[in-house]
C-alpha cells in the first residue's frame, strides 16, 4: 500500500515507530510502547494518522488481524470516520463499503477485520477480543470502557483527542504510564491542512486584529490552536470557588446519588444560605447494597441521623439494586432522616437555581473533574439548554440537597464539629 503522500504527519511517524520498536522479553515490555496517546489541536492530523496506521498494519504487517475502533457512540462514526474512510479506501483502490451503505459496523481490509464500536454499549466490550485498538476522540469515553478494551487487546492500542478539559482519567492514569507513548501536536504540524482551515484556526488567536473583528476566542485558541488543555465550552458551572475545607461553623445536610456497578455513589456534605452554597464530596465509588454503604458511612464518620436527600429515580429493578429499596434498607439500618428527593421541577430549573448563588467546593479530584466536564449538550456546534448526562454524580447529589433546602424550611442541621 502507498500512502500517496510525500510528507509523513508526525502523529503517524510516532505511531509507526512505537509499533516497530515494540519488543517483549517474556511478559516484560523492553522497548517500544504498549500503546500511545495523541493529544493535539484541531486539524493536526491525528485522525488521518490513525486511518493510515490501520492501512499500514493491514497491508504490510498483518493478514488476519482484528482491529477495533471505538468512539463515544456508534452514530458518531457516520459524521466523521465514514467520510474519512471512504476517501482513504478510494485512495488505496480497495473495495469500499462506505460508498453505497448507510450502515457499516465492520469491514475487511486486505483480509483483516475492522470493527466500529460505540462506547455507549458497554456490553460489547466484554469478550471483544482484538489485536489492535483505536479510541478516536477519546475524552467522552469512560475509563471502564478503555480498561475492558485494553485488557482484550493483544498487540497495540492508541487514542487521540482535543484537550478540551483540564482534568481527565487519561491525564491521571494513562499518559503517566511508562509503557505509554505521548505526543502533542498542533495544526502547524500538519503539512496537508488547507489554507481555509488554517485561517479559521488562526482567527481564534487573541490578536488586536482578531479582537477587533470579533473572532478572537481564548478557549478555542488554547485548545484547538495551541493544543493545550482548557475547560470546555458550555460548562454548566463555570464560576466555582475552590476551598480547602468545609467551614466548621456551618450546619449541613447530605445529598446522595446512588451508583451500583460502574457509576459511583456520590455523597455530598451540603450547606446553603442566602448567597452561598458549600459542598464537600465524601464518597465517590460504586456501592451496590445498603450494608456496604452503611459501613462506608461509619468509616468516614458520617452522621446518618442528619437529613440525607437521596436519588428517587429507581433505574434498577433487582432486589437490592434499586434506589427505592436502598432508601428503605438504609432506614432499617438507622438512617432515620433519609428520604427520596421530591422532583417537582426540571433539572434545568434547579441548575439555574443553584447558579444564582456562589458555589464553594472543597478541593477534590473527582469533584474537580466533574466541575470541568459537566456541560450543556452541543448539537452541530450549537449549545442547547440541556445538560449532558455524564460527569454529574457529584452535581446530582449536590442538586438533591439544594432542591430539598428550597422546597422545605426549618431543616435540622448540625455544626460540622458535631459530625
Q: Is pTM, for the whole model, over 0.75? A: no
Give the domain 241-418 fold: Nucleotidyltransferase; domain 5 (3.30.420)
Q: To 10 degrees, what angle do helices 46-56 and 10-20 make?
A: 40
Side-chain half-sphere CA neighbours of 344 within 13 A: 7
- Provide the pLDDT for residue 380: 60
- Provide the pLDDT for residue 173: 92
Could you tell me the three cell numbers for 55? 492501512
- Sorted by where each begins, the domain ranges of the chain are 10-194, 196-225, 241-418
- Provide the pLDDT for residue 303: 95
Looking at the DSSP bridge assignments, the partners of residue 358 are 276
Which parts of the chain sit beneath pLDDT 50?
A: 3-5, 316-320, 409-412, 414-419
Whether the Cβ atoms of residue 418 and residue 300 lie closer than 8 Å to each other:
no
Phi and psi torsions of 265, nearest 5°: -80, 125
- Provide the pLDDT for residue 318: 45
Rounded distance between C-alpha atoms, residue 403 and residue 345, angstroms: 9
Cβ count within 10 A of residue 278: 23
Count of residues making up the chain? 419
- Provide the pLDDT for residue 166: 79
Cell 500512502 identifies what position?
A: 3
284: closest CA among 270, 309, 264? 264
3-state secondary structure 302-324: CCCCCCEEECCCCCCCCCCCCHH
**CATH class held by domain 10-194:** alpha beta
Rounded distance between C-alpha atoms, residue 249 and residue 241, angstroms: 18
- Provide the pLDDT for residue 103: 87
Whether the Cβ atoms of residue 121 and residue 127 lie closer than 8 Å to each other:
no
- Provide the pLDDT for residue 319: 43
Amino acid at each position: 500500500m502507498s500512502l500517496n503522500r510525500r510528507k509523513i504527519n508526525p502523529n503517524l511517524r510516532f505511531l509507526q515507530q512505537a509499533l516497530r520498536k515494540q519488543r517483549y522479553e517474556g511478559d516484560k515490555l523492553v522497548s517500544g510502547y504498549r500503546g500511545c496517546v495523541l493529544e493535539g489541536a484541531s486539524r493536526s492530523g491525528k485522525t488521518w494518522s490513525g486511518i493510515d496506521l490501520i492501512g499500514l498494519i493491514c497491508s504490510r504487517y498483518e493478514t488476519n488481524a482484528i482491529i477495533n475502533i471505538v468512539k463515544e457512540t456508534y452514530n458518531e462514526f457516520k459524521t466523521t470516520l465514514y467520510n474519512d474512510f471512504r476517501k482513504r479506501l478510494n485512495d488505496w483502490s480497495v473495495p469500499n463499503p462506505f460508498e453505497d451503505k448507510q450502515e457499516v459496523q465492520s469491514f475487511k481490509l486486505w483480509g483483516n477485520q475492522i470493527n466500529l464500536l460505540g462506547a455507549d454499549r458497554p456490553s460489547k466490550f466484554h469478550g471483544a477480543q482484538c489485536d489492535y485498538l483505536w479510541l478516536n476522540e477519546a475524552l467522552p469515553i469512560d475509563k471502564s470502557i478503555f480498561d475492558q478494551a485494553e485488557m482484550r487487546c493483544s498487540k497495540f492500542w492508541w487514542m487521540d483527542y482535543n484537550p478540551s478539559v483540564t482534568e481527565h482519567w487519561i491525564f491521571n492514569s494513562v499518559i503517566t504510564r511508562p509503557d505509554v507513548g505521548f505526543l502533542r501536536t498542533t495544526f502547524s504540524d500538519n503539512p496537508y491542512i488547507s489554507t481555509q482551515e488554517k485561517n479559521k484556526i488562526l482567527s481564534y488567536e487573541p490578536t488586536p486584529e482578531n479582537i477587533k473583528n470579533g473572532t478572537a476566542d481564548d478557549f478555542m485558541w488554547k485548545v484547538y490552536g495551541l493544543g493545550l488543555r482548557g475547560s470546555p465550552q458550555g460548562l454548566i458551572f463555570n464560576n466555582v470557588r475552590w476551598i480547602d475545607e468545609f467551614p466548621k461553623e456551618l450546619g449541613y445536610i447530605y445529598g446522595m446519588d446512588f451508583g451500583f456497578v460502574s457509576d459511583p455513589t456520590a455523597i455530598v456534605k451540603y450547606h446553603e444560605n442566602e448567597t452561598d452554597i458549600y459542598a464537600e464530596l465524601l464518597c465517590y465509588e460504586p456501592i451496590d447494597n445498603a450494608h456496604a454503604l452503611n459501613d462506608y458511612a461509619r468509616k468516614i464518620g458520617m452522621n446518618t441521623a442528619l437529613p440525607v436527600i437521596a436519588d428517587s429515580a429507581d433505574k434498577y429493578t433487582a432486589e437490592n439494586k434499586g434506589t427505592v429499596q436502598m432508601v428503605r434498607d438504609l432506614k432499617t439500618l438507622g438512617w432515620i432522616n433519609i428520604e427520596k428527593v421530591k422532583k417537582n421541577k426540571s433539572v434545568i430549573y434547579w441548575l439555574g437555581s443553584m447558579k444564582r448563588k456562589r458555589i464553594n467546593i472543597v478541593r477534590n479530584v473527582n469533584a474537580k473533574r466533574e466541575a470541568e466536564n459537566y456541560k450543556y449538550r452541543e448539537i452541530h456546534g450549537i449549545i442547547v439548554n440541556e445538560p449532558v448526562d455524564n460527569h454529574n454524580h457529584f452535581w446530582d447529589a449536590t442538586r438533591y440537597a439544594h432542591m430539598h433546602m428550597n422546597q422545605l424550611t426549618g431543616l435540622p442541621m448540625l455544626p460540622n464539629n458535631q459530625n
